[in-house]
Amino acid sequence: MLDIKQITAGYGKATVLENLSLSVIEGQCHAVLGPNGAGKSTLLKSITGTVHPNIGQIIFKDKDISNEKTHNIARMGISLSPENRRLFRDLSVKENLEIATIYSINKNIKKNLDFVYQIFPRLKERINQKAGTMSGGEQQMLAIGRALMLEPEILLLDEPSMGLAHIIKEQIFEGIKKIKETGKTILIVEQDATMILPIADKISIFEHGNIVWEGNPSELSGNNSIKSAYLGL
């Protein structure tokens, strides 16, 4: 579904990703792991058009989107739940979800709301509550739910467990598991390997803007040197 072909990208003169290639297969959950500063979030920014690669191509369903604008990429079927959530804090849960569809081609608002509430029932309980008054875990559920409102063909998740207690992480990843079970393609950037390994079909480990290891969870489970060096396991 998504092919990253030898891209080099960064900010100004600072190169973050260098000659990076990565493929996401339809229907799979592809996890990108690695330490802070490894280039994981820059990868997602490159896919969504907030950073354009200097070299290389990003191909989504046989179309080159390397230089497309962000709103066009979203309409094509790529939706991002960003790092730090970036919610409209003074709007209610329902308003935050509905606002995601303003420029969407798909207007199945009720169906999509029902789907989000099925994934995260807590949001239905908080439907009229302002986002800024919710707990961190509830806000993360809302950020993922907002991304789902676009009916994406591929869902991008940037550090969904960041800053959350372990018991709350479990709730978030239970929701992500439900999303995967619907057949949704997921590309997730994460630091907590223990949470994503049971869900992921494929894993790429980043360091200094490059992939240092790639494989499936069973292959990783037998590689103690990689687990120790990059994942703290």
Enumerate the β-bridge partners of residue 189: 32, 158
What is the count of structural domains for the chain? 1
Q: Say if 89 falls within a structural domain.
A: no
Q: Which domain holds residue 23?
A: 2-82+149-231
pTM for the full predicted model: 0.94
Q: Say if 137 falls within a structural domain.
A: no
Q: Say if 11 falls within a structural domain.
A: yes
What contacts 162, CB < 8 A, 6 or more positions away?
A: 83, 84, 191
Q: Say if 142 falls within a structural domain.
A: no
Q: Say if 115 falls within a structural domain.
A: no
Report the amino acid identity of residue 216: N
Which domain CATH number covers 76? 3.40.50.300
Q: Say if 66 falls within a structural domain.
A: yes
What contacts 194, CB < 8 A, 6 or more positions away?
A: 233
**pLDDT tens for each residue of the chain, 233 residues long:** 999 999 999 999 999 999 999 999 999 999 999 888 889 999 999 999 999 999 999 999 999 999 999 999 999 999 999 988 899 999 999 999 999 888 776 678 899 999 999 999 999 999 999 999 999 999 999 999 999 999 999 999 999 999 899 999 999 999 999 999 999 999 999 988 889 999 999 999 998 999 999 999 888 888 888 878 777 66
Angle between helices 166-181 and 136-148 in degrees, nearest 10? 20
Chain centroid to CA 176: how far? 10
CA atoms within 13 A on the CB side of 93: 23
